[in-house]
Amino acid sequence: MSLIVYGAPLSPFVRKLRLCLLEKGLDYQLEIVTPYGQPDWYRELNPLGRIPAFRDGELTLADSSVICQYLEERYPQHLPLFGKDPAEAARVRWLEKYGDYELAPLCTFGVFRNRLLKPMLGQACDEQAVQGVLHEKLPQHFDYLERTLGQGEFFLGEQFSQADLAIFTQLLNMEHGGEALDAARWPALTSHYQRIKARPSVQNVLPGELKVIAKIAGQR
């Protein structure tokens, strides 16, 4: 198989890439590489040591956003995920960046890492930091996303896109960390989250993630 994803299932960036591949109907192989104790050869794929990295035949790439945009251009006959014109593509890229750079530090590194990963590594959860993220930092971002969605099913209105995957993947890590959106305060964003979660692509990867989480919980 020529398409290989290197990474770990619970990484939101690895998940985003896997969902992109599944939505496009592209077969791929997942080779497990974690952020910790990486083999020396992995630095040849990503000199920063971050996940995911990706291989398509002889081509290797790093950074989930770069890889997903490559897939969009490399396989144009498959489901388009970056809109139908330059304006929509720019909107998708903006929201993907928003998920990667604004939500990730809070949903994944603030909530998920403290609640799940730190205990697994024998470290104490900083619950004060988690509460600060939940009550002081995330609400302004959820307000923005609620306004941006408006009455649309997706961030491009009626058209599903990479933007939906980029936002969803961070919110799923927040849920893995034991927190859910307030449906009364953010009804559109909550409905969007549940809509994306129900997609076949997500249901394809979610059982494996839940098994990993159960294993982590059993090791505590």
Instruction: Give me the mean pLDDT over the 70-94 stretch.
Output: 97
Candidates 81, 10, 110, 20; CA nearest to 51 is 10
Is the Cα dihedral 209, 155, 86, 94 positive or negative?
Answer: negative
Same domain, 90 and 64: no
Residue 80 lies in a domain: no
Digit-coded pLDDT (tens) for 151-203: 999 999 999 999 999 999 999 999 999 999 999 999 999 999 999 999 999 99
Mean pLDDT for the chain? 96
Q: Give the total number of structural domains in the chain.
A: 2
Residue 81 lies in a domain: no
Same domain, 67 and 129: no
pLDDT for residue 220 is more than 70: no
Question: Which domain CATH number covers 177?
Answer: 1.20.1050.10
Instruction: Give me the mean pLDDT over the 132-141 stretch.
Output: 98
CA–CA separation, 49 and 6 (whole Å)? 11
**What is residue 120's predicted lDDT score, i.e. its pLDDT?**
83
Domain coverage including residue 202: 86-218
pTM metric for this prediction: 0.95
Same domain, 98 and 177: yes
Residue 128 lies in a domain: yes
pLDDT for residue 37 is more than 90: no
Same domain, 52 and 146: no
Same domain, 132 and 177: yes
Residues 6+ apart with CB under 8 A from 177: 107, 111, 112, 113, 114, 115, 116, 130
